[in-house]
Amino acid sequence: MNLAESASLVLAAQERGWERAETPEDADLVLLNTCSVRATAEQRVMGRLAHYASIKRKKAQSSFVLVMAGCMAERAGERLKKEIPALDFVIGTSARSRFPLVLEAVEKGQTEALKNLVEAGEKPVFSFSAFHLDQTNPFRSFIPIMHGCNNFCSYCIVPYVRGREVSRSPAAILEEIRLVGEKGVREITLLGQNVNSYLWEGSLILPAWAVNGSSTLISGNSGKLDFPGLLELIALNLQAWGVKWVRFLSSHPGDFSRETIRVIAENSIFCRHIHLCVQHGSNKILKAMNRRYSREQYLSLVGDLRSSLPDLSLSTDILVGFPGETEGDLEETLDLMEEVKFLYAYMYHFNPREGTAAFSLPCRIDEDTKRKRLSRVIALQKRHTAELLKSRIGNEVTVLVEGISRKNADELISRTERDEMAVVPGDASLAGSFGRITLSSLRGNTFRAGTIELLN
């Protein structure tokens, strides 16, 4: 999500004629787009702020304007502005539309006047940017479809820093997909904190070029469109553009409907990989986390997904060391991992975040135990990843070539539908192409292939 938001801020500056500076010393403005989800990310931002404050002190007269955006700006920006005088503007997630005002003030040398105006202004309402194409990755694009979260998992700060769920209009989503398709994007990822709870209530009038189709979920000029309805609408309209693959992130198991599985199964444009955050395998801990599903419901969903989508790969997030977690709870998590066999997982241990419900829970687990439990989870996941990848050797698959390998200019890096990486021989002219390869061997977690047969 942060990548998409960074890309839209960069585009806002470029549209006004701004260019990237090589160093902060050459810059008129330094923008830090921040994330609050992990405490470690916030610590890194604090280090960066101190670094830029020190450069500003040295530059004295002709210094840059220092701007902090994103969820950390929303959560702690006003306090940081008092503590770090070098920080000129904080633009929280809901105030991104103020960024062009900051750019204009810098252009006109009127930043002091704008500071007074922004501080006296009302709290803005979140609105989506129109375009999020990251120019460093021209063939893949992130398309935000919703923002915020209503789930309030007890360990998570997101609902506090990003606010309640807001869904983006289907017309704006289709328009952005058409635009990125015209610019050569071949794969999109629909983004949101909980994409499955996407729900648009309002105008269903689509751009003039769009096909409405016969979906029963789309009725009249106003009404409701849910996530499977949106996927159907995108599938109907994608045929006309260069975009061929669609992914989505993140999925909450409690909101993943059987209708969504049906739509994915009926439309091959949806990649056969789903990131389905489980977080834990013990019902006691899932309840304490306020995850709203049980281990049995999660496994039943996985069963339904696998029977409708036999080629599917699954990845997940796992959080160990939650307050009150016993060795038995950890065993249940390891057992669930054995049952599902995730292709990969983001694994971390609990760190209390002030302001969340879990912050004040008793029975915290000591650091040493958390680390040991986490290493057991990581070791098991590494084994599963290695086994799953090895079992794929010899398969013929379709890949999207993303660009030149960083290690060897004669090799290309490509990705399968199942989110596996493969290196193939070739030159830069093939970037953005789809092709068929045979997964012939593995180096680490990356496949190698001898040749690529282009599909387009």
Nearest to ligand SF4 of 140, 353 (CB atom): 353
Q: Is residue 194 involved in binding ligand SF4 (CB under 6 A)? A: yes
Q: Is residue 196 involved in binding ligand SF4 (CB under 6 A)? A: no
Question: How are beta strands 434-438 and 453-454 bridged, if at all?
Answer: antiparallel
Q: Is residue 158 involved in binding ligand SF4 (CB under 6 A)? A: yes
* Angle CA 308–177–180, to nearest 5: 125
* Stretch of 40-48, 151-159, 216-224, 436-444 contacting ligand SF4, by CB under 6 A: 151-159
- Tell whether omega for the bond before 441 is within 30 degrees of 0, i.e. cis: no
Contact characters 232-271, ligand SF4, x per CB under 6 A = --------------------x-------------------
DSSP 3-state assignment of 87?
Answer: strand
> Taken in order 278, 279, 282, 285, is the CA torsion positive or negative?
negative
> C-beta of 298: minimal distance to ligand SF4 in Å?
14
> C-beta of 208: minimal distance to ligand SF4 in Å?
36
> C-beta of 321: minimal distance to ligand SF4 in Å?
16
DSSP 3-state assignment of 404?
Answer: strand
Q: Which of 57, 117, 152, 304 forms a contact with ligand SF4 (CB under 6 A)?
A: 152
Residues 396-422: b if buried by 16+ CB within 10 A, e if exposed: ebebbbbbbbeeeeebbbbbbbbbbbb
* Stretch of 73-81, 152-160, 262-270, 301-309 contacting ligand SF4, by CB under 6 A: 152-160
Nearest to ligand SF4 of 146, 399 (CB atom): 146
CA distances from 204 to 68, 161, 199, 201, 248 (A): 35, 29, 12, 8, 22
> C-beta of 145: minimal distance to ligand SF4 in Å?
14
Provide, for the chain, the percentages of residues in helix, strand and coil under a 3-state DSSP scheme, each rounded to the nearest 5. Answer: 40, 20, 35
> C-beta of 279: minimal distance to ligand SF4 in Å?
8
Rounded CA-CA distance 410/296 in Å is: 48
* Stretch of 148-156, 337-345, 393-401, 447-455 contacting ligand SF4, by CB under 6 A: 148-156
Q: Which of 100, 124, 138, 159 forms a contact with ligand SF4 (CB under 6 A)?
A: 159
Burial class of 138 by CB neighbour count within 10 A (0 to 12, 13 to 18, 19+): middle
> C-beta of 151: minimal distance to ligand SF4 in Å?
4
Decide if 8 contacts 129 (C-beta within 8 A): yes
Nearest to ligand SF4 of 194, 405 (CB atom): 194
> C-beta of 161: minimal distance to ligand SF4 in Å?
10
What residues contact 280, with CB distance under 8 A and at least 6 apart?
286, 289, 291, 318, 319, 320, 322, 325, 329, 332, 333
> C-beta of 37: minimal distance to ligand SF4 in Å?
8
* Angle CA 351–319–194, to nearest 5: 100
Q: Which of 9, 72, 114, 149 forms a contact with ligand SF4 (CB under 6 A)?
A: 149
Rounded CA-CA distance 79/112 in Å is: 19
* Stretch of 126-134, 146-154, 239-247, 419-427 contacting ligand SF4, by CB under 6 A: 146-154
**Total interface residues for ligand SF4 by CB under 6 A:** 10
> C-beta of 24: minimal distance to ligand SF4 in Å?
32
Nearest to ligand SF4 of 103, 153 (CB atom): 153
Nearest to ligand SF4 of 152, 359 (CB atom): 152
Q: Is residue 151 involved in binding ligand SF4 (CB under 6 A)? A: yes
* Stretch of 112-120, 144-152, 236-244, 381-389 contacting ligand SF4, by CB under 6 A: 144-152
DSSP state of 22: S
Largest interatomic CA distance in the chain: 66
Taking phi first (over 0 means left), then psi (-120 to 50 degrees means alpha), and beta for anything else, what does residue 296 get? alpha
Nearest to ligand SF4 of 315, 414 (CB atom): 315
List phi, psi (to 5°) of 18. Answer: -80, 150
Tell me which amino acid residue 400 is. Answer: L
Decide if 106 contacts 65 (C-beta within 8 A): yes
Reading the block at residue 439, the tokens are 């997964």
Q: Would you give the distance in Å from CA 401 to the centre of its chain?
A: 21
> C-beta of 55: minimal distance to ligand SF4 in Å?
34
Q: Is residue 118 involved in binding ligand SF4 (CB under 6 A)? A: no
> C-beta of 157: minimal distance to ligand SF4 in Å?
8
> C-beta of 251: minimal distance to ligand SF4 in Å?
10
Q: Is residue 153 involved in binding ligand SF4 (CB under 6 A)? A: yes
- Contacts to ligand SF4 by CB under 6 A: 149, 151-153, 156, 158-159, 193-194, 252
